[in-house]
Amino acid sequence: MGMRWKAIHRWLGLTVGILALLLGITGALLAIDPVHQAWQASAAPGELPVSALVERVTRTLPDAEEIRHLPSGAMVVFSFAGEQPQASYVDPTDGQVLGPWQASALPRWVKNLHRSLLLGDAGRWLAAGIALAMAVMCASSVALLLRRMGGWRRLAARVRGTLAQRIHVVTGRVLLLVLSLTSVTALTMSASTLGLVTLDSRPEPEVLSVASGQPSLRGAQLAPLKTLLVKDLRKLNFPGATDPEDTWKVTTAQGQGWIDRYSGQMLVWQDASLAQRLYDLAVVLHTGESAWPWAVVLGLAGASVLLFWLSGFVIWWQARRQTPKIMGNVPMAQADVLIFVASEGGSTWGFAQTLQNALCQCGHRVHTSALQNFQTTAATQQVYVLAATYGEGQAPAHASGELERISKLKADQVPVTVLGFGDRQFPAFCAFAQALDQTLRAQGWPTLVPLECIHQQSGQQFARWGLALAKALDESLVLAHVPRVPATSTLTLIGREDFAVAGVQASAILRLAWPAQGLRTCLGKRGLARFSAGDLVGIVPPGSSVPRFYSLASGWQDGFLEICLRQMPGGLCSSHLLGLETGGSIQAFIRPNPGFVLAKTHGPVLLIGAGTGVAPLAGFIRRNDRKTPMHLYFGGRDPAHDFYFAPDIARWLGEGRLASLQTAFSPVPGGGGYVQDALRRDAERVRIWMSQGAIVRVCGSRAMAQGVAEALDAVLVPLQLSVATLKSKERYAEDVF
């Protein structure tokens, strides 16, 4: 069902999105009118009797024929000046004329565009169809939003993903209810306009006043008008002066009544039909008439359609560009190797193509397709499933029901090998691949190699998995995956601080100029987008097409990119960067790291890093303008040679950007051991911070991160907390390498 909702949402967004955008913008313009009228209106006191209003009006306009209470609260009187009809604003406090009344021409033109696209009856049907499409889109949005966020309970959780995804989800989360309401009310109003629903099928009663030889009563003398308040009045029609049988007619939200002009008694009262009441409510909810604060909300909702459409289009375009076409596929019935892919953003298909190419070079006939086509044939000898995890451990949209379907299939002896793709910043790292692997094993499907989980589309991990697979197959299989690199920008080195000591690998902090950002960059056409400390910069070294990623120690507001790195044995990129001289340049691009980037918080922040892993933590502290209490635990080898950012850290302590610092230099006598040892020593303070809702960021080697997790699990036992619990609540994230 998830795949159907996504297909419906995408198809409607791309086909009727432009027209929905037009209706949204015109709706936003129309929402200005109720606000403008409400501000200009001279509203009547709500508790004023209608009889008193009539008396004041007729003193000024004795030829008045109708009093109309506008939704804005203003009073308009229709009368004649000689033979010339006129409409006037009146002050309800004294009945004086404030000026002529005339409906605004701009709202009338915009209304025609909004209601019928200036196409008459055909346009009204088209507008109704767009409203129906919007209602279906809203329903699909709710389904997809709940799926992405992990259910109702996590609906308010922080949104992760690209900028376009965050805009699309946040805008939808805030305004989806309003947009759903406007689409439903539009359908309600269209049903009446197009004659599909009759508001009141009852004929208007033939009510006549019976002349009794007595003079007509003045409006101020009519008993029903003495008890009717102005706030409830919609319209009051005066009896014709030349027709002795004509009556007063009063209209309210509750219905309409006819009053005898001689006795002043209510002759007939007709309650408003249910259909009429629903229509009136729909008008208020759709237009904001008589409720200008709601009109403001409607205006914002209408304008948000532009954000919805643009961000949705960008998401679709990015996914389309990221989905490669599989080359070299043979028909499934003839293939001895089947590869099935479950991918949300499309990047997993690139790994599938690399695997297919390598298997074909080994003489296999390979067919690759989506996971929903999972099956085996008489020719099948091997099956591979490349499965990405989406959201909180969920399957990609197109594969949402496949786990259940596969669990019902009868297993055969064809080995099915699962390879997972995910991001360790998410609590449920590769959870879908793990669930799929467990299901297959429980059903009795064999495997060639155990489940492997690839972090952040690592080509190195993929290659290592390929070596294990080659050994299992006893074939010369080589998986050299070359990911498609986004458009890069040229970055120039403007400063560096080197750290070197005999017997220790060289390291450095590099500062690179951030190029000026033009319109094309802002639109995501090329180069670097805005970035934050904790995001990743992908650097493509000379002689390679495979980017290496480094955590950023700066944000775009700082005006530069800063990274901290050390020499890796045989490292092509680290050697190139460490050999770069001031004025030298590199090619780079930004990869968002939303699971690790620090969100705004008022509570404590616990920053734990070792070695070059302190880089993003330093970036968090650098941008801590709000002086949020941040506590840094830094681990290194020698304070004289690898205490990265030491002068900055000292300055940040003095400025209050950093609340406390604990260091641990393991090889140095009395240096404090490792950061996990420092955490154990500070157990009481750590528990206080965590009880105050502290969030945790850990950056460094995988071994260090594992040691920190074990130490914190022990420290947090008295609070009945654990690292796993903190991850599930998005209070704990790691960036490990």
pLDDT band (50, 70, 90) for residue 41:
low
- CA 290 from centre of chain: 31
The residues, any chain, with a CB within 8 Å of residue 366's CB and separated by 6 or more, are 328, 329, 330, 335, 336, 337, 338, 339, 356, 359, 360
Same fold, 323-473 and 489-591: no
* pLDDT at site 397: 65
279/381: higher pLDDT: 381
Distance of CA 63 to the CA centre of its chain: 58
Which region holds residue 416: left if phi is over 0, alpha if psi is between -120 and 50, else beta? beta
pLDDT digits (tens, 9 = 90+) for 387-432: 998 765 778 766 767 888 898 899 989 999 999 998 776 667 899 9
Return the CATH number of the domain spanning residue range 489-591. 2.40.30.10
User: Mean pLDDT over residues 164-182, rounded?
Assistant: 82
Name the pairing type of β-strands 536-540 and 452-455.
unpaired
- Res 502: pLDDT: 52
What band does 520 get if pLDDT is binned at 50, 70 and 90?
Answer: very low
Residue 126, token pair as written in the block = 């088209």
* Angle subtended by helix axes 2-15 and 17-30, to nearest 10: 70
Assign 525 a pLDDT band (cuts: 50, 70, 90). Answer: very low
- Taking 80 as the threshold, does the pLDDT of residue 259 lie above it? yes
301-317 burial, b for 16+ CB within 10 Å, e for fewer? Answer: bbbbbebbbbbbebbbe
In sequence order, the 6+-apart residues with CB closer than 8 A to the CB of 466 are 355, 358, 477, 478, 479
Q: Between β-strands 84-90 and 97-100, what pairing exists: parallel, antiparallel or unpaired?
A: antiparallel
CA angle 655, 657, 660 (to 5 degrees): 100
Is residue 714 helix, strand or coil? helix
How crowded is residue 581: how many other Cβ atoms within 10 Å of its Cβ? Answer: 7
Tokens 């209408």 identify what position? 302
In the chain the first and final C-alpha atoms are separated, in Å, by 37
Residue 148 has pLDDT above 70, yes or no: no
> How many CB atoms lie under 10 A from the CB of residue 433?
26
CA dihedral (39, 42, 47, 50) positive or negative: negative
| Torsion, CA 226, CA 230, CA 233, CA 238, rounded to 10 | 60
Place of tokens 């209602």: 135
Q: Rounded to 10 degrees, what is the CA torsion of 571, 573, 578, 580?
A: 150
629, two tokens: 């209490």
Tell me the residue ranges of DSSP E strands in 374-530. Answer: 382-388, 416-422, 452-455, 489-501, 504-513
CA dist 551 and 455 (Å) reads: 15
**Is the separation of the CB atoms in 664 and 635 below 8 Å?**
yes
- HSE-CB of 130 using CA atoms within 13 angstroms: 23
pLDDT-derived band at 73 (thresholds 50, 70, 90) equals: confident
What is the C-alpha separation between 65 and 242, in angstroms, rounded? 12
CATH of domain 323-473: 3.40.50.360
Judged by average pLDDT, the poorest of 212-216, 329-333, 648-652 is 212-216
| Phi, psi torsion values for 708, nearest 5 degrees | -65, -45
For residue 510, pLDDT beyond 90? yes
Sign of CA dihedral 632, 561, 161, 624: positive
297 versus 717: the higher-pLDDT residue is 717
Question: Helices (DSSP H) in 150-214: which residue ranges?
Answer: 163-193
How is the chain split into domains, by residue range?
2-35+107-199+283-316, 43-92+202-272, 323-473, 489-591, 605-736
pLDDT at 730: 82
Where does 605-736 sit in CATH, by number? Answer: 3.40.50.80
* Residues 28 and 107: beta-carbon distance below 8 Å: no
pLDDT tens per residue across span 460-497 = 899 999 999 999 999 999 999 877 777 788 999 999 99
Q: What does the alpha-carbon distance between residue 606 and residue 675 come to, in Å, rounded to a whole number? A: 12
The identity of residue 20, as a single letter, is: A
Helix (H) or strand (E) segment spanning residue 694: none
| pLDDT, tens only, 180-232 | 888 888 888 888 888 887 877 777 788 877 766 688 899 889 999 999 999 89
CB atoms under 10 Å from CB of 450, counted, come to 11
- Chain centroid to CA 527: 24
pLDDT at 503: 53
Full-prediction pTM beyond 0.75? no
Q: How confident is the model at residue 234 (pLDDT cuts 50, 70, 90)?
A: very high
Residue 335, C-beta contacts closer than 8 angstroms, at least 6 positions apart:
365, 366, 367, 377, 379, 380
Quickly count: other Cβ atoms within 10 Å of residue 654's Cβ: 9
Please state the φ and ψ torsions of residue 578, each to the nearest 5 degrees: -70, -20
What tokens appear for 693 in the block? 């809702």
Residue 346 has pLDDT above 80, yes or no: no
* C-alpha distances in Å from residue 240, one per residue of 63, 66, 97, 380, 545: 10, 10, 22, 91, 88
Alpha carbons 559 and 449: distance in angstroms, whole number: 47
For range 296-316, the mean pLDDT: 81
- The region, left, alpha or beta by phi > 0 then psi within -120 to 50, assigned to residue 183 is alpha
Q: Tokens at residue 502, please? A: 């005999």
Residue 107, both tokens: 């709202």
Among 93-102, 120-129, 446-455, 498-507, where is mean pLDDT lowest? 498-507
**How many residues are present in the chain?**
737
CB atoms within 10 A of CB 23: 23
Tell me the chain's radius of gyration from C-alpha atoms.
35
